[in-house]
Amino acid sequence: MTKLVNVVKHPLVQHKLSIMREKQTKSPLFRSLLNDVSKLLAYEVTHNMPLTHKEIETPLTSTSAPYLECQEICLVSILRAGNGLLSGMLELIPEARVGHVGLYRDPTTHEAVEYYFKMPPQIEECDTIVVDPMLATGHSAVAAMDRIKSINPKSLKFVCLLAAPEGIDYFHEHHPDIPIYTAAVDECLNERKYIIPGLGDAGDRMYGTQ
């Protein structure tokens, strides 16, 4: 049975995450590490996906070989930082379908407002993996899941790099059925809703913006 919060403690993930946390790590290295970690997270999030056997010929004999139905996996990036996790996962699962969700935070109501939503057809056939590096308050992840659930994917999982306890609680209050995969659960949010100790603004760290 899948746990609701899966912390990927593999030493390679933890080592690369520590370098990403360092404030002197510049964007090119940060992106390259995120790309590596996204593949290791993809390895974990797909670990119990079903395999279909097909008869094949090796150079020596015929055999029944297991295959993942990669076209029935949909990767969904929450813009813009989600793209940093998406690209590495797509390198590992190039046949996966891809969706994007764009949300911004209304400055007065603080609600997540959708500005972009593009999903592949036949999502009801797809095991859907939604990615966003930072689960902070959880507001955008919950809004994205609300919207994606409305189009009935076959299953849903959420992958992030770092999660705050507050974000996990908020997420599971609204979506107790969706498992979270993360490289670490940090201490808390600060008054500006940044994850502590965290790594700063993931989008800014990736693209050198501020």
**The length of the chain, given as a count of residues:** 210
Q: What's the min distance (Å) between Cβ of 43 and ligand URA? A: 24
Show contacts with ligand URA in window 105-144 (CB under 6 A): 134, 136
Residue placing its CB nearer to ligand URA in the complex, 120 or 203: 203
Whether 105 sits among the annotated catalytic residues: the reply is yes
Stretch 1-60 residues interacting with ligand URA (CB under 6 A): none
Find the shortest distance in angstroms from Cβ 152 to ligand URA: 29
Nearer to ligand URA, 20 or 96 (CB): 20
User: Which of 156, 202, 207, 208 is in the footprint of ligand URA by CB under 6 A?
Assistant: 202
Q: How far is CA 45 from CA 9, 65, 172, in A?
A: 13, 22, 18
Residue 195 · residue 136 · CB < 8 Å = yes
CA distance 7 to 78: 20
Q: Is 201 a catalytic residue?
A: yes
Q: By C-beta, is 95 or 204 nearer to ligand URA?
A: 204
The verdict on whether 205 is a catalytic residue reads no
* Torsion 144-116-151-96 (CA) sign: negative
Cβ atoms 204, 210 nearer than 8 A = yes
Residue ranges that bind ligand URA, judged by CB under 6 A: 81, 134, 136, 194-195, 198, 201-203
